[in-house]
């Protein structure tokens, strides 16, 4: 996992701008967390052995859990709940019956828990394993989804959960010190997106909403660009994961940078004018934190207090 | 590519029978060439480097062409035309800008040609490349699709095109004699499903319909099992690909076995009571051949003429 360079970024932009066409059934094309065809919000995610998961670090069940949850998180970001899934399973050709059984029961467990049914799929084998999921969900009223482009000046910026743990956990795995930081590693291997919150935010018609798969700096930039607004985020308000500061100090890393640029968090970042009296419930249940303001203008700026406003450069965290 | 063993067959059955649920939006679940959610027929196919395509044998463009066409073939088999696609692209991490540009233009070319728009997708990288496509299509009237279970006693069995070339071409590639059989190899690398025919058959309300991705013996067995009928196929009627008999003689293989059990043909196999006067048009345009009869009973039998009826054992050709 690494940060995208320009060449890779251009490739993704090009590939997703391929043949488009007008169709009354297409409510939303590429460019957000999901596409929308009629009432169906649709998202697809690939998880590749040695890139997204490493069986030295976690089990097949962990890999499937994370693949499914990261995909459900895309629906959550648009205010939708997953209902159906299509599977694409590539078995590692060295695997046998035991691994096949693990795969069946892992998909069974996580999909059943989230009330997602199987539409169908394809199963093949190859030199390495991969799992690709395509999920279908709907917003509570089947209406338009929450978009990255929905932010307006005057709104506040909120984030759920605590940040930085996933990237810290990955660092610990890569540097052979995973046993010292089990909680951070667990956050990397088994993320817990706030899946109940997306549909609630949709009902309350918040502004923009996105999930933190590519890191806070990158996702704030998406909202700022696609909404045509300026974002000012307060450095001291960004909620750092438990144990992150001690980990950072010990390993000479910056806790703020881990929280700002680390990906695969799957928390929600949203903008809203919701009154605090309504938010108090979410503050408790989903650990919603106020981290900044939406204003007129463009760009993302970090308010550091003593050093003033610093422009934030997005670092798109990717497996490309 | 090889034939499925029992263990693998059970795995596929198990994985596709995972969490199901009742939903008025689900018109058709797993078990046919596509699933159907509302009016949308949906299918997904994975193509993995060194399993489904080999860049020693064909180009990246060839691999993408085949991946897309095999997926469109699934919609064709149910009488639908593709309208939208979701991409899942795993780049080989050793690839650079040149390969990325090939991928963009290959998807652009084949999707534009077939008037398929891009809904979105995911792009990652890994030790080997893979392409996964999920396609969305509709039947001409948005109504129920052609199914494997639609065959009825009294109908005839028809197949399009000529069979056996794909497996023969693969054999030639695997045995280093590809240069001697360019036409057979081309049929393996660049299949040509009769994509206009599926929606036409849907309008004429034929019985069962399926595409020949797993081989004729296997697909006939699917129709017989799922329709609860017996199929009698005439050995001398099965249309052999041009050059197949000479190839088989030279390499000590059975042309009939290649046509009967070879996969990745993507021709259509369908049952119908259509009068010959109507079929005459299809006979010419899509090379439709009468190959057998549907009767009461069960199982698939090969009518060999002098040796009588022989039970056909399905050989499921698979990349698992």
Domain spans in chain B, listed from the N-terminal domain onward: 7-138, 148-318
- The three-state DSSP-derived secondary structure of B185-230 is HHHHHCCCCCCCHHHHHHHCCCCCEEECCCCHHHHHHHHHHHHCCE
User: Does A267 lie at the interface with B, CB-CB under 8 angstroms?
Assistant: no
Q: What is d(CA B51, CA B130) in angstroms, rounded to the nearest whole number?
A: 10
Sheet order of strands, A40-48 included: A26-28, A35-37, A40-48, A130-138, A81-92, A117-126
Q: What is d(CA A213, CA A216) in angstroms, rounded to the nearest whole number?
A: 8
Mean pLDDT computed over every residue of chain B: 92
Q: Which CATH superfamily is domain A2-138 in?
A: PurM-like, N-terminal domain (3.30.1330.10)
CB contact under 8 A, A319 and B124: yes
Taking the CA of residue A182 and the nearest CA in chain B, the distance in Å comes to 27
Q: What is d(CA A75, CA A319) in angstroms, rounded to the nearest whole number?
A: 20
Average pLDDT over residues A164-190: 97
Q: According to CATH, what is the number of the domain B7-138?
A: 3.30.1330.10
pLDDT digits 0-9 by tens, B202-249: 988 799 999 999 999 999 999 999 999 999 999 999 999 999 999 999
Q: Which residues of B touch A126 (CB under 8 A)?
A: 48-51, 128, 130
User: Does A142 lie at the interface with B, CB-CB under 8 angstroms?
Assistant: no
Rounded to two decimals, the ipTM of the complex is 0.93
pLDDT digits 0-9 by tens, A29-88: 888 889 999 999 999 999 999 999 999 999 999 999 999 999 999 999 999 999 999 999
What was the pLDDT predicted at B171? 96
Given this chain, do its domains A2-138 and A148-318 carry the same CATH topology? no
pLDDT at A271 over 80: yes
A38, A87, A319 member nearest B15 (Cβ): A87
Q: What is the DSSP letter of A50?
A: T
What was the pLDDT predicted at B1? 67
Average pLDDT over residues B285-312: 93
What was the pLDDT predicted at B307? 87
What was the pLDDT predicted at B101? 93
pLDDT at B18 over 90: no
pLDDT at B294 over 70: yes
Q: How confident is the model at residue A4 (pLDDT cuts 50, 70, 90)?
A: confident
CB contact under 8 A, A128 and B128: yes
Contacts of A21 (CB under 8 A, 6+ apart): B115, B117
CB contact under 8 A, A118 and B320: no
Taking the CA of residue B192 and the nearest CA in chain A, the distance in Å comes to 21
pLDDT digits 0-9 by tens, B42-51: 999 999 999 9
What was the pLDDT predicted at B282? 77
Instruction: Tell me which residues of chain A, numbers 150 to 169, contact chain B at a CB-CB cutoff of 8 Å.
Output: none
CB contact under 8 A, A121 and B44: yes
Backbone torsions φ then ψ of B171, nearest 5 degrees: -60, -45
SS3 A80: coil
Weakest mean pLDDT among A146-155, B3-12, B98-107: B3-12
Q: Which residues of A touch B84 (CB under 8 A)?
A: 23, 26, 37
Contacts of B201 (CB under 8 A, 6+ apart): B79, B146, B209, B268, B270, B272
What was the pLDDT predicted at A44? 95
CATH top-level class for A148-318? alpha beta
Weakest mean pLDDT among A255-259, B19-23, B96-100: B19-23
H/E stretch holding B107: helix B97-113
Taking the CA of residue B21 and the nearest CA in chain A, the distance in Å comes to 6
Output b/e per residue, A57-75; b: 16+ Cβ within 10 A: bbebbbbbbbbbbbbbbbb
pLDDT digits 0-9 by tens, B79-103: 999 999 999 999 999 999 999 999 9
Q: What is d(CA B15, CA A82) in angstroms, rounded to the nearest whole number?
A: 19
Taking the CA of residue A304 and the nearest CA in chain B, the distance in Å comes to 34
């Amino acid at each position: 996992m690494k940060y995208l360079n320009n060449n890779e970024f251009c490739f993704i932009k090009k590939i997703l701008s391929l043949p488009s066409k007008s169709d009354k059934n297409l409510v939303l094309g590429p460019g957000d967390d999901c596409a929308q065809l009629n009432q169906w919000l649709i998202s697809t995610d690939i998880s590749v052995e040695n890139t997204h998961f490493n069986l030295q670090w976690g089990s097949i069940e962990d890999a499937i859990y994370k693949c499914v949850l990261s995909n459900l998180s895309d629906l959550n970001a648009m205010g939708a709940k997953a209902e159906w899934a299509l599977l694409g399973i590539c078995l590692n050709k060295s695997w046998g019956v035991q691994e096949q059984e693990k795969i069946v029961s892992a998909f069974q467990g996580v999909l059943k828990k989230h009330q997602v049914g199987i539409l169908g799929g394809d199963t093949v084998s190859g030199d390495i394993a991969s799992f690709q999921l395509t999920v279908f969900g709907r917003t509570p009223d089947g209406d338009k989804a929450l978009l990255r482009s929905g932010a307006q000046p005057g709104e506040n910026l909120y984030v759920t959960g605590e940040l930085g743990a996933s990237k810290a956990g990955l660092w610990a795995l890569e540097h052979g010190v995973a046993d010292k930081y089990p909680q951070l590693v667990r956050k990397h291997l088994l993320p817990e997106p706030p899946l109940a919150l997306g549909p609630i935010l949709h009902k309350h018609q918040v502004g923009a909403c996105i999930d933190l798969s590519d890191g806070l700096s990158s996702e704030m930039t998406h909202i700022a660009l696609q909404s045509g607004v300026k974002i000012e985020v307060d450095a001291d308000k960004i909620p750092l994961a438990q144990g992150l500061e001690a980990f950072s100090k010990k390993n000479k890393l910056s806790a703020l940078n881990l929280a700002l640029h680390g990906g695969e968090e799957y928390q929600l970042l949203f903008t809203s004018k919701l009154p605090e009296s309504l938010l108090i419930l979410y503050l408790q249940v989903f650990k919603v934190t106020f981290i900044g303001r939406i204003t007129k203008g463009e760009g993302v700026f970090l308010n550091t207090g003593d050093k003033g406003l610093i422009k934030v450069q997005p670092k798109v965290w990717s497996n490309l």
